[in-house]
Structure 1
């Protein structure tokens, strides 16, 4: 069975020269190149931009709210790929507190699941239309602390793939894990990334000064 390969598409400042990095995670049917283009709208000058590629353009086969075992072994492979990506950046001299995440749709779900399973002080995260993964959220998977990492979650109400209740529960869990969470719900805007969300991401996550 083919699994996700450790193949990264990069842009921005070369990793060995950058002090900060943004890991960008595409949605189902998207590509690494597509998601990298979104960075043109973020205040990430000087960042290394890194986008892992999903096998067959999908991180896992079913809905993010399917029983977790039904999305295996793809989900575990995807989480392992993100762990490898973070470790590779660390090895190149970029500390996790200077690593940021951006994910859209299926990529937002994967982003939120990964950072919550591996909570620590990251630079920040932006998740547009996503929530923690599983038929029921298994909070036993989340044992560490975000140390006030800023996380912006934007979503549409309604959304055909991601129920608002799951997004709200996700925000609550991240807050309980000591993330600084900003959740914004936009009415009837569809499954897309909004200019308002770009602006909020820039103000809340990418322009922050460490105190």
Structure 2
């Protein structure tokens, strides 16, 4: 599963100095998340967006016991890894690779980078947290070496409890990330203009 061709936009990989890997939410598509790039400060980036089989990365809540979401979750992480490999094969180093996701895609974004922590360009998670019925620190390794991460979320949110967001921020920080967490009262399950502006200033404007 999750074997669909990588969707691309922005600069060609062969000409780009930076790459942004964009992960859509449940029920959405690669084209949906790529359309967000028009609001981001990424004119010189190659944009890479995997697409989930049947538009979902894993079938159950991100808070379900991990075995319930297998093998989808492992395959979803592999799809992200293929996008990273495509950027690296084109000569883009990890410190120039960026990640962005919304909702289920934000959860997958954080899970991937935490399992492969290194100095990335930056990470944006619009409403998401690390995956599992609880956090499993033994799954995460590496050193973000100051990678900027922005996490924005609503309190409450119908899918992502703010407690998991805060726990994820704490764990990512222990791995060396520079995390900015912003919790908006009653924002709803969406992406706001303020979040986009913060992502631009904290991550893409660096």
Shorter-chain TM-score tier: over 0.9
2:172 is matched with 174
Question: 2: CA distance between counterparts of 1:196 and 1:83?
Answer: 30
Select 1:201's aligned residue among 199, 202, 205: 199
- Alignment partner, residue 93 of structure 1: 91
Q: 1:116 aligns with which of 100, 114, 117?
A: 114
What is the TM-score when the length of structure 2 is the normalising length?
0.99
Q: Identify the residue that residue 161 of structure 1 maps to in structure 2.
A: 159
Deviations 1:127-182 (A, max 9, x none): 01100000011110112110100000000000000000000000000011000000
Alignment gaps of 5+ in structure 1: none
Q: Which residue number corresponds to residue 25 of structure 2? A: 27
State the Cα distance separating 1:87 from its structure 2 match. Answer: 1.1
Give the TM-score normalised by the residue count of structure 1.
0.97
Structure 1 runs (4+) deviating above 2 angstroms are: none
> 1:176, 1:143 → 2: CA distance?
10
Residues in 1 aligned to 2:4 and 2:21: alpha-carbon distance in whole angstroms: 14
Residue of 145, 149, 166 corresponding to 1:151 = 149
Tell me the secondary structure at the aligned position of residue 175 of structure 1: helix
Question: How far 1:188 sits from its partner (Å)?
Answer: 0.3
- RMSD value, Cα: 0.6
Aligned residues: 206
Separation in 2, partners of 1:70, 1:175:
28
Structure 2: any 5+ residue segments left out of the alignment? none
Contact 1:20 1:99 in 2 (8 A): yes
